[in-house]
Structure 1
Amino acid sequence: MCYTILLVDDDSILVSSISTYLSSHNFKVQSANDGDEALKKLSGKLDLIILDIVMPQINGYDLITLIQDDNKYKDIPFIFLTAKGMTKDRIMGYGLGCNGYLVKPFDPEELVAMIKNILNQYIKASSCQIVQKNNGELKVKQENVHDFTMTEIKVLKLVMRGLTNKEIADLLCCTTRNVEKYVSRLLSKTYTKNRTQLAQYGLRLALN
């Protein structure tokens, strides 16, 4: 299967180099040199986004927030590939839900390994979908669909353990507001009405 990756970085030489390397590993790469161009290229099938943080006009943080506002692309996994390697920068990245954080300079083999790992986990995590019978009973329907992100799976597991949104936020190094957003998405996707039903759903999938 050929996966499509959107690569966003204002360093055109680096973009060209990474695109060539990823293409040699059978990835289809679309590239953009800034946030505006990236937003214009959000079309069709897209499996992963790799983006820099420091870019003109729209930085990486704001760009991924804009992308997540689009229901079609809100659950696409993404990797920050950046020179900003401070702990606070990583916390900010993971707070936005990034699936990987790689600091420049980097080994391209490590990038490919990270991409493959994220895509493999993402597909496994999203291989089930909840459907509701006429009598209201929930059942699990196995399908190869992109339904759950890895972050949502992590949040679901912690909800099953009875943790509060604040406790989950502390463990995942993100804000309580972000956790509330993930819980809300999970409730919608699983057709459950509250955290108790959501935890019960998780037990049905044997996620713990």
Structure 2
Amino acid sequence: MIYQNFLLVDDDDSLRKSLGLYLHDHGFNVKSVHNVDNAKSYLELYCPNLIILDIMMPDLDGYQLIQFLKSNIKYSKIPFIFLTAKGMTQDRIVGYDLGCHAYITKPFDMQELLAIIKSVLNNSSNWLQQQLLNASSINDKLLSNKFTVREYSILQLVLKGMTNKAIAKSLTLSLRNVEKYVSRLLVKTHSRNRTELVHRFFLKNNYIEQGE
């Protein structure tokens, strides 16, 4: 199972609580914050699979958060969904011009939002698999020089989204040994977690360029 981590950014306490619980009940890990500054603080430590955000918030707005993400190559590929009361056509155009994967207006139906989220994640997963295929011929020689044979084989499975337990079963290793190898991969690639490792791997189709 591939666990998906979401960042929910909205100044409406009630919405954050209800939507966070709903998504959690459907198998997603959700971190909820009430403003852009807190979102940035979270992103310094974690790299979510999806961001769901409001536009109109105190201090900085959702547009400014997306501009921040787009200006930072580490975050620029994270898919995001606008969830907002701004429903005019021009508002939607601005949202899609910024690259949102969906623009949903409040009030909204949670089942519809869930369906949209699954579609966005599926498209992102398909993109990831295609990048793995496209990048493999470019990276194989470089990666094999950077990692041991075992580290490299585990890296390939991590990039496919396999859990440590699944990797251990696939390679007939103990879970503890897999955890050690994954820790080494994170250190060697200067990554704080698996999601960040995947994003680093696809920077210019070769994360080694930016990690050294």
Q: The TM-score by the shorter chain falls in which range?
A: 0.5 to 0.7
Return the match for 1:119 from 106, 117, 121: 121
Secondary structure of 1:85 counterpart: coil
Gaps of at least 5 residues in structure 2 are 141-155, 161-201, 207-212
Q: Which runs of 4+ in 1 moved over 4 A?
A: 142-146
Who is 1:174 aligned against? Answer: none
Matching of residues 53-202 of structure 1 within 5 Å: 53-128=55-130, 129=132, 130=135, 131-132=137-138, 145=159, 188-189=204-205
Secondary structure of 1:118 counterpart: helix
Q: How much does 1:126 deviate?
A: 1.8
**Does residue 33 in structure 1 map to residue 39 in structure 2?**
no
Secondary structure of 1:93 counterpart: helix
Aligned CA distance change for structure 1 residues 189 and 55 (closer, same or farther; 3 Å):
same
* Higher percent of residues as helix: 2
For normalisation by structure 1, the TM-score amounts to 0.64
Aligned CA distance change for structure 1 residues 133 and 121 (closer, same or farther; 3 Å):
closer
Matched residues in 2 for 1:127 and 1:40: separation? 29
Matched residues in 1 for 2:125 and 2:157: separation? 10
* Higher percent of residues as strand: 1
Aligned CA distance change for structure 1 residues 132 and 56 (closer, same or farther; 3 Å):
same
* Count of aligned pairs between the two proteins: 145
> Match of 2:21, as an amino acid?
T
Gaps of at least 5 residues in structure 1 are 135-141, 147-185, 191-208
Checking the alignment, whether the CA contact within 8 Å between 1:80 and 1:101 is kept in structure 2 is: yes
Matched residues in 2 for 1:145 and 1:101: separation? 29
> Match of 1:36, as an amino acid?
D
For normalisation by structure 2, the TM-score amounts to 0.62
Q: How much does 1:67 deviate?
A: 2.0
Fraction of identical pairs, as percent: 45
Matched residues in 2 for 1:81 and 1:26: separation? 20
